[in-house]
Amino acid sequence: LERQLLMQNQMRERQTAMQIAWTREFLKYFGTFFGLAALGLTAGAIKKKKPQVLLPIVPLSFIFAYQYDMGYGTLLQRIKGEAENILDTQSTLLELPKGPLTYEDLEKIRRSQSKFFVEK
């Protein structure tokens, strides 16, 4: 059981590391896009003398900030803290509908889906 727990924890850590690495890689590409878009929109706003041309920068900046926080900031620590809070104070939100599955429930489902099983 201890080996299984260690293996599950190792898999979780590797998956989390992959998620952070993916976010950091995505941030490189999105950061480049955001920078070029900001420069282009700013140049367009100055050239046309219309400040509303800059409006797309607002949602793009939120996406950029989120990705940066995920890759290099404290977002994961805040998510972990909120998850711990939910586990400690709002555990009723985690209950499965109709309660946890039992062996009898699984057998009943298996029997109903089986073409070869005949109820006696």
The predicted pLDDT at position 101 comes to: 87
Tally of domains in the chain: 1
22 phi and psi, to 5 degrees? -60, -45
Distance, in Å, from the CA atom of 32 to the CA atom of 35, rounded to the nearest integer, reads: 5
The boundaries of the domain holding residue 36 are 1-119
With tokens 């404290």, the residue in question is 74
34 burial type by CB count under 10 A (0-12 exposed, 13-18 middle, 19+ buried): middle
CA gap 52, 32 in Å, rounded: 22
> In what helix (H) or strand (E) does residue 101 lie, and over which residues does it extend?
none
Q: What is the pLDDT along the chain (120 residues), one digit of tens a residue?
A: 899 999 999 999 999 999 999 999 999 999 999 999 999 999 999 999 999 999 999 999 999 999 999 999 999 999 999 999 999 999 999 998 988 889 998 988 888 887 765 555
pTM of the model: 0.72
